[in-house]
Amino acid sequence: MIVNNLVSQMSSMNRISSTMNAIDNAIDALNCVKIGIVEEYYPETRTAKVNLVNKVFIKLNSDGIQETQLYPPIYPKIMFIGTVDNGMDYKLQTGDEVLVFFCDREITSWWLTGETSQLNDFRTHHMSDCIAIAGLRSQPLTTITNDN
């Protein structure tokens, strides 16, 4: 009887541990906001080929060294700050930095029509549903001047 209770408790603990590991893995894979660097800009579609600046952790080798790799390039929709009547729009250059947001739900139908519509897909925080805000600058790309 005692052995059966211990086995049952251990089984429950294993299920809880597995569930917690699955939640941790899902959170680690969740895309929310990342910084990217423009590799190519496509003005006709207002999209760009962007490389994310962070690397993906693959595993910890037996010698204690982390194995990482770059994310594959993404192709966000490029957003410029402004209103419909007087928004800013400019040609992005290779090396420009952008802030990439991964939307909670698919944005294709809005992107193509500009209107509210039914979801075409129930994916969340997907690489294909990202937008990039242009104009971000890291310290090495920021020039400070004193024009007093």
- pTM exceeds 0.85: no
Give the mean pLDDT of the chain: 79
Q: Is residue 129 classed exposed, middle or buried when 0-12, 13-18 and 19+ CB atoms within 10 A define those classes? A: buried
pLDDT at 76: 93
Q: How far apart are the first and last CA of the chain?
A: 84
In 3-state terms, what secondary structure has residue 10? helix
Going by pLDDT thresholds of 50, 70 and 90, the confidence category of residue 96 is very high
